Structure 1
Amino acid sequence: MFTLKKVKYKDVLNIEALTIKKHKVTCIVGQSGSGKTTLLRLLNKLISCDSGKITYKNQALKEIDSVELRRDLVMLPQAPAIFSGSIKDNLLIGLKFSEKPLVADEKLLEVLKLVRLKKELSEDAEKLSGGEKQRLALGRVMLMEPEVLLLDEPSSALDEDTEHMIIEALVNYSKENNKTLIMVTHSKKIAEQFSDEIIEIKDGRVLNQKEV
């Protein structure tokens, strides 16, 4: 699905060769500052590499329209944006931005259940805790049904038990719906338990890539 060849970005990344497979759960692990988030941002065209080539579905990433690309793949940053308004407003806003059809309340409630957020659709989103906001943003991304989910530490604000439940639900959702999930995680335990492949990055280079 993605291939990277001789990709360099500033002093942050220097990747000789890397392939990320379609319909797999790929976890990216490594110490803070190793370049994990930068890699996600390159895949989503939020930034461009200084040299080298990145392809998506055998097409050069730089030749793909950014808006079209982001309809196909959606990135959730570590500190996702929460907009003023209700939980319902926040769930629907991703569909509005990507010009996709809105969905009924029943579907919204299904997603809240999936991300273990026991709240009413009418509640004020800005009054949620950090972990609840993270789950709300995850629900928003899942509603958009992208082909690829790029998630940067999607469970960093959660306690260990909740983290396990959310990641398990997310992985099950991805597999049942033939999605490609690429996830940066601080937890090697989560990576070992849930991923199909683990990419370990150190000092901007791919130290190891292995199937689990």
Structure 2
Amino acid sequence: MESPDNEKPVFTLKEVKFNDILYIKELAITEKKTTAIVGKSGSGKTTLLKLLNKLISPDSGTIYYRDTPLEAIDSITLRREVVMMPQTPVIFEGDIRENLLIGLKFSEKELPSDDRLMNMLQVVGLDKKLDEPAHQLSGGEKQRLALARVMLMEPSVWLLDEPSSALDKDTEDEVMQKIMDFGKRNGSTIIFVTHSIPMAEKYAEEIIEIENGEIVSIKQNHHE
């Protein structure tokens, strides 16, 4: 039997509306689990992630992070713990090292050694030097760089929007497995958006399906 701590919600949404895109009557996303949000393009998946990261605010209703309403939490404080990686990764001017460190600098965290940075590039399978310019990377390489940046921040909660969309099938499996292993080791909550049901079934413990901005199903997905 799982400990009650494992069943605590990290986010709770009540009567949350945003434009005509999303209406969620009630939803609890469990702490320290991997949750996939699935649905067709335009169903409201990315909007939900943005709401959880306080990039946008609901027109009505309340979102709680743990037990505190999001509107009562400073955005920067929230984003130290809840880190979002958009589908099109943000790549900054400068080299790979600067791109890896920028999230830590924004959140005023301690900066790691070059050895640690190189180790993180290995984890995501990016065979590059730290002083190479980041803008010259391919789409898939930029996605891996952005993932390494998120991993370095060791967030409590990861919000990943189509985290492997620019990767081929083999690389997708390899990178997703590494994300899951890393997150589990750190006791993180991982919430990822995907249009791929097979990917959700392979990696998520809980699958939330959204259709036309509303939740149509929540299912537990037991591995092992």
Scaled to the shorter chain, the TM-score interval is: over 0.9
Deviations 1:135-189 (A, max 9, x none): 0011011101111010101100000110011001001111111000000012111
Classify the secondary structure of the residue corresponding to 1:133.
Answer: helix
1:1-212 superposed matches below 5 A = 1-212=10-221
C-alpha displacement of 1:56: 0.7
Whole-angstrom distance in 2 between the partners of 1:39 and 1:202: 12
Classify the secondary structure of the residue corresponding to 1:20.
Answer: strand
Whole-angstrom distance in 2 between the partners of 1:183 and 1:201: 13
**TM-score between both structures, scaled by the size of structure 1:** 0.98
Classify the secondary structure of the residue corresponding to 2:127.
Answer: coil
Segments of structure 2 that go 5 or more residues without pairing to the other structure are 1-9
What number of residue pairs does the alignment pair up?
Answer: 212
Identical columns (%): 58
What residue is the counterpart of 2:6 in the other structure?
none
RMSD: 0.7
C-alpha displacement of 1:97: 1.0
Q: 1:129 corresponds to which letter in structure 2?
A: S
**TM-score between both structures, scaled by the size of structure 2:** 0.93
Segments of structure 1 that go 5 or more residues without pairing to the other structure are none
Whole-angstrom distance in 2 between the partners of 1:10 and 1:124: 40
C-alpha displacement of 1:123: 1.1
